[in-house]
Amino acid sequence: MIGMTEELAKEKSFSSVRLFIKTFRRFWLKGFFYWLFAWIVSVIAIFDCFFFIRFSYGKWLIPLFVLLACLSVSFSINCWYFQVRNPASKPNQVLRIAFYYTLKKWYVSLLDFLLLTSLFLFFFVKPQWCILLGPSIVFGLIYFNNRKLMRTMDL
C-alpha cells in the first residue's frame, strides 16, 4: 500500500491493478519479515502483560510492555516506508535508519502507530468503510507523515 502511495506521489496517476501486482512482487517478502518482527514482539509483550499483572510489582512493568509493543509496530512501519523509498538499499541499512528514526522522531512514530491502530478500531465501528477506504486513507496519511523524514536522511 505504501508502494502504491509512493507511485501516486511521483506520477500523480497510476494503473491500480498492474501497479499493485508490481509493488506486491517487489516488496512482499521484505515487508512480511519487517511485520513479522513487530508481530512477534507485540505478542510477547501482550503475554508478558498478562503474566506480570498477577504480581504486585508486575503492574509497574505493564506500561513498559505497552511501550515496547508500540515501538515495535512503529519500527515496522518505518521499515516499510524506508524500504519503499529506497528499494536498492540493503536490509541492514533500512533496519538501522528505521530504528534511528523510530527513537529520534518518536512523535512521528507514535502518530503512525495511532493511525494504524485507528484503522483496526474503526473496523469494529464501520467495517464496510474500513475495508473499502480505510487502508488507502491510513497508509496515505502515514506516507505523507513520514515524507519529511526522508528529506533529512542519508542512505
Which residue, chain included where needed, has cell 496515505? 140
Question: 125 burial class (0-12, 13-18, 19+ CB within 10 angstroms)?
Answer: exposed
The proportion of the chain whose per-residue pLDDT surpasses 90, expressed as a percent, equals: 21
The H-or-E segment that residue 36 falls in is helix 16-52
Q: How confident is the model at residue 57 (pLDDT cuts 50, 70, 90)?
A: confident
Q: Is 70 exceeded by the pLDDT of residue 117?
A: yes
Q: Are 84 and 3 in contact (CB under 8 A)?
A: yes
- Please give the backbone phi and psi of residue 66, each rounded to the nearest 5 degrees, phi first: -65, -40
Per-residue confidence band for 21, with pLDDT thresholds at 50, 70 and 90: confident
Question: pLDDT per residue over 60-95, tens digit each?
Answer: 999 999 999 999 999 998 888 888 888 888 888 888
- In three-state secondary structure terms, 13 is coil
Residue 154 scores a pLDDT above 60: no
Instruction: Write down the residue that cell numbers 503475554 correspond to.
Output: 47
Q: Angle, to 10 degrees, between the axis of helix 91-104 and the axis of helix 106-125?
A: 90
Q: Cell 511521483 maps to which residue? A: 10
pLDDT higher than 70, residue 104: yes
Q: Cα–Cα distance between 127 and 134 in angstroms, integer?
A: 9
pLDDT digits (tens, 9 = 90+) for 5-19: 666 666 666 667 677
Q: Is the model more confident about 143 or about 48? A: 48
pTM of the model: 0.78
